[in-house]
Amino acid sequence: MPPLSLYIHVPWCIKKCPYCDFNSHAVKSDTPEAQYIDALLEDLARDLRRFEIDRPISSIFIGGGTPSLFAPESFDRLLQGIRQQIKLVDDLEITLEANPGTFESHKFAEFRALGFTRLSIGIQSFNDVALQNLGRVHSGKEAHLAGEIAQQAGFDNFNLDLMFGLPGAGIKDSQADIARAISLNPTHISFYQLTLEPNTYFHKFPPKLPDDESIFATQKACQQVLADHGYQQYEISAYSQAGRQCRHNLNYWQFGDYLGIGAGAHGKISQKLPGQIIRTQKARSPEHYLNAPDKLTNSDTISTNDLPLEFVMNHLRIKSGFSLETYQRTTGLESSSIEPALANCVKQGLLIQLDNHYYCSEQGWNFLDDVLQKFIN
């Protein structure tokens, strides 16, 4: 059985950003924090019974929204409740997403004392004009201060999120953001392109973005700066110092299992029979989630036809790729179910084959959607 992680979704934030397509809702003065913690623990208990889970949790990731808006006391009760229900590995990675605002950052030391081992801070940019264009509620100064406070609070493992391809921004702007992030010595930097996702304000009222050539040049220039400072790219948008990859996200990309609890959370659970993998989704509306006796709204077994695409969609995001043995063990399928598409990609220079191991070439990573098309049944 693959490793098992736990994802916990907290759907509230101070303000909905115009580019955000996550299940997030502007916080109200009467946010039902205590009731939501109760619902999360109830949700977890039901999933453990439903899927007969007898494996330990190898990582926990609390995302949102902005989960750092919750009081440390609420997370203390949540973590204690989780420990009472399921075994956790000794070197557990527990990540909390946070924003740079003063309201959240002054609680960092309390989060560290509770046992959180990793912060993921949504900087996006250090440039005040860019932050204003993105609808962020913090300033560049607050963003820099959040990194310093994280270190002072005892976090020797934290991530900074940065965007490129922003309205009115060019190569020099992104290089300045990267340089300022590196100066804070985070163990991990997520560096990804702003995209206009459906059902967002930016999709309905799109801002003027740099052209594709400028965006690509920005990406390459900043990747070089990151590499020069020891940040190794191990996934399409993830860069880390040696040995400091995000274990939770690696489990996703290596097609591991994860329980998803909270409003709108998704999960993936392998059954004991090879190849039987279930996808789950919880009630998306916070109100519905809180009031529904069973939080689950959808549960489907991944079809045999879809398994090859599901597998490569994750594994080809990481530089290490995958072996045919891993494919067979994880999906329960013969290697012949994927070899024609693999051979086609190798022939076109999109994938590199080393014995029975496959990974993306630089061209394959730049055109990953084209690679994945070849695995659609």
DSSP conformation letters of 330-356: HH---GGGTHHHHHHHHHTTSEEEETT
pLDDT tens-digit readout, 128-150: 999 999 999 999 999 999 999 99
pLDDT tens-digit readout, 10-39: 999 988 899 998 999 888 778 899 999 999
Amino acid sitting at position 174: S
Q: What is the pLDDT of residue 336?
A: 92
* pTM assigned to the model: 0.95
Q: What is the mean pLDDT of the chain?
A: 93
Q: What is the pLDDT of residue 123?
A: 95
Mean pLDDT of 202-211: 93
pLDDT tens-digit readout, 42-55: 999 999 999 999 89
Mean pLDDT of 356-376: 91
Q: In the predicted model, is pLDDT for residue 377 greater than 80?
A: no
Q: What is the pLDDT of residue 245?
A: 97
Mean pLDDT of 106-117: 94
How much of the chain exceeds pLDDT 90, in percent?
Answer: 86
Calculate ∠ Cα 192-158-85, nearest 5°: 105
Residue written as tokens 């916990």? 8
Q: In the predicted model, is pLDDT for residue 102 greater than 70?
A: no
pLDDT tens-digit readout, 245-270: 999 999 999 999 999 999 999 999 99
Domains, the chain, in order of start with CATH, read: 4-251 (3.20.20.70), 307-373 (1.10.10.10)
Q: What is the pLDDT of residue 27?
A: 86
Query: In what order do the strands lie in the sheet containing 158-164?
Result: 232-235, 238-240, 188-193, 158-164, 118-124, 88-98, 57-64, 4-10, 257-262, 266-270, 277-282, 296-301
Confidence class of residue 9 from pLDDT cuts 50, 70 and 90? very high
pLDDT tens-digit readout, 171-184: 999 999 999 999 99
Q: What is the pLDDT of residue 103?
A: 66
Confidence class of residue 272 from pLDDT cuts 50, 70 and 90? confident
Give the CB-side neighbour count of residue 298, counting CA atoms within 13 A: 13
